[in-house]
Every structure is written in structure tokens, then in C-alpha cells.
Amino acid sequence: MGHKRTSGLIKRGKTWHIDKTVKGQRICESTGTTSFSEAERFLALRLEQNRQAQIYGVRRPRTFDEASAKFVQTNQHKQSLDSDIVRIKGLMPWIGDVTLERLNIGTLQPWIESRQKLGNSVGTINHGLKVVRRILNLAATEWFDEYGQTWLQTAVKIRLLPDNNKRQPYPLNWDEQTKLFKALPEHLARMALFAVNTGCRDQEICRLRWEWEIFIEGLDTSVFSIPGEHVKNGDDRIVVLNKTAKSVIESVRGEHSDYVFTYKGNPRNKMLTTAWKRARTKCNLEQVRVHDLKHTFGRRLRSVGVSFEDRQDLLGHRSGRITTHYSAAELTNLIEAANKVCDMNRRQPELVMLRRKTAA
């Protein structure tokens, strides 16, 4: 007597897939095997898991592979998604088939040690751990199955590795700024000058569009409203222009129909180019990153007494306030605050860098 063929299994290419509806719930996924007998056992397991979930409220185990696919699918808007995908691919050979409830710093230890042997920095490893932590938190709080239960009952805490060598911010003083900016090519110097007077990030400047400019009647100025999908924290950001930033904008107006900052008619992908690295080496400022321009703006605002709340708004930091709707009086206050860092006559207090003495 022949073996009765199990319904709900379909062969696509060489792999067997499940496509079966049970009590109104459709199961549609790959079994991950080319063997029909293994596919049958996988289907039987999945049917039993669904029965236990429906009757007893038992969660079906989900692998990191499944959760990663869900993460990528639901985070298409995320600016750093491409970087997250690279990190997920590096994790997959180590924990791809591990179920979420078994994921912890112990099961991640072999991956951590492999990264360390390859010479990855603590910061790079921690970025991978952050992605795992984010996926676990989403599985425990926001992702629900067909029975109304979260994918994971509780997300285990993933502690990051201690980073004792984490690089500290390096705000520029006026002499360093002058020296560095003179060594940069014109297009980069303009972008850097805009950054140090607005606190914008690299990508906010590279992607800055003319269509985001809003002219403010009665104030003889404009601001830029950057949509949240182009801002790191996901919130819309208002960029206030002080006198220097405004002069930079006017110097490039009309050069391109869409983008504010370009090079040879094309927008830049990043400011950290070979030209930037060459300029900082020439000025003996190898430690200066593009992001330090934002730190410089923030430190200068603080040094001239700008309030914490105004600094948050000017730097585009997330706060509990609605920071994309300002009255004329509020905008005037922010413009005046931003203008305080334009003065180059050295009457402002100098930034003092305090560094610990290294042991002899």
C-alpha cells in the first residue's frame, strides 16, 4: 500500500514549502529542506505548535532568522537599515537558527570572540549587539502572532561590552577651524562651515534640498525643515540659520535645482572624503571627525550661555517639546542664540580641552 501524500507541501525549485490553511489560519513558509520526509516532519511540528498556541496559548518558537526578516520588512523607513542588514548577515551563521528565547549574551559569546579575533573594535561589536537587542525588544513588545500573543514573552537584557577606548568628542577652537577649513577644497569648506554653524550631521547636509527651505516673512531669513526620514532620530528637524550659515546658503543658491551642496554638479554622499582626510593630516588634526563640527557648535552655544532647551532645538536633539512649530518670537530667539557663535573677534570665551595625563 502506497504512502499517502501529505497535503500542504509544495515543491518550489528543490525546496519543499508549506502552504496549508488550518482552522482559518494559513501557514505559508519554507521547510528549508529538499527531503520530502523531513518536510513532512517539519509540517507536523508546525501543526502541533499551532495547536498548542491556539488551545494552550503556547508561543511558537521563532528563530533569529525569522525575526531578522520581520525586522527588515517593517523597518524600510529606517535610515541605518542597510548598515543593520550588514550586521545581521554577519550574525546569521552564528545565531540564525537559534530561537529568540535562547538568545542571550552566552549564546552570542562565540560570535563576539570571532569578531574580536578579526580585530573588530568594541564599538563595531556593540553595534551588532544593539541590533540583536532591538530585535528582541520588538519581538517582546510590538510583534504579535495570529493568536494575539507577542513573538517573545520577555526580552532578555543584552549588555554591551565596556568600551574604555571610546573616542571622545573633539570640538575645534577658532584657530584649528580656520586652519582646517583653509586646507579643504571649496565645496567641502562650505559644507564644513555650514555644519559648524548649524550643528547638522553629515547626511543632513549632503541631502539638504532647496524644496525644504521655508522663507520667514518679517524676519528676512529662512529655515530648512528636514523631513524625519533624513534625520537620525526620525523626527522632522528645523535648521535655523545664523549669519554665517545664511551667507553659505546664499553662496550656493542657484548652483543646483534640487540639492543645496554639490560637487561638479552632483550631490555628495558624504563629507568624510579623501580630501577631508588629507586636509586634517596636513593640519595635524587627524583626530577630527566630521561629527566634531556638530560638537563644536554645541560647545560654542554652551560657552556663550545659550540655554539647554535652545541648544536642544538648534542641534536637532529629541525633546518632549514640539520643535517643528515655532512662533516668530521663538524663531527670533533661536536665531539670536545661533548668531552668538558667529563672532570671530575672539572676545568670546575660548574652549578649553581638558585631557587626562597619561601614565608615564
Of the pLDDT bands very low, low, confident and very high (cuts 50, 70, 90), residue 323 is low
Relative to beta strand 9-12, strand 262-263 is: unpaired
The predicted structure's pLDDT at residue 143? 94
The predicted structure's pLDDT at residue 327? 77
Q: Which fold does the domain 174-339 belong to in CATH?
A: hpI Integrase; Chain A (1.10.443)
* Per-residue pLDDT reduced to its tens digit, 13-35: 888 887 777 766 666 767 778 88
Average pLDDT for 252-274: 92
**pLDDT value at 352 more than 50:** no
The predicted structure's pLDDT at residue 324? 57
Strand (E) or helix (H) holding 10: strand 9-12
Domain ranges of the chain: 9-50, 64-141, 174-339
**Rounded Cα distance, 229 and 209, in Å:** 13
256: cell is 543646483
> How many other β-carbons are positioned within 10 Å of the β-carbon of residue 61?
15
Under a CB-based contact definition with an 8 Å cutoff, are residues 78 and 131 in contact? no
Average pLDDT taken over every residue of the chain: 85
* Per-residue pLDDT reduced to its tens digit, 191-208: 999 999 999 999 999 999
**Rounded Cα distance, 259 and 268, in Å:** 9
Average pLDDT for 116-142: 94
**Rounded Cα distance, 173 and 348, in Å:** 11
**pLDDT value at 319 more than 60:** yes
Residue-wise over 206-234: b if at least 16 C-beta within 10 A, else e? Answer: bbbbeebbeebeeeebebbebeeebbeee
* Per-residue pLDDT reduced to its tens digit, 60-119: 888 999 999 999 999 887 777 888 999 999 999 999 989 898 999 999 999 999 999 999
**pLDDT value at 52 more than 70:** no
Relative to beta strand 9-12, strand 25-30 is: unpaired
CA 334 vs CA 169, 238, 330: distances in Å:
24, 11, 6
The pTM assigned to this predicted structure is 0.64
Q: Which of 215-229, 256-270, 293-307 has the lowest mean pLDDT?
A: 215-229
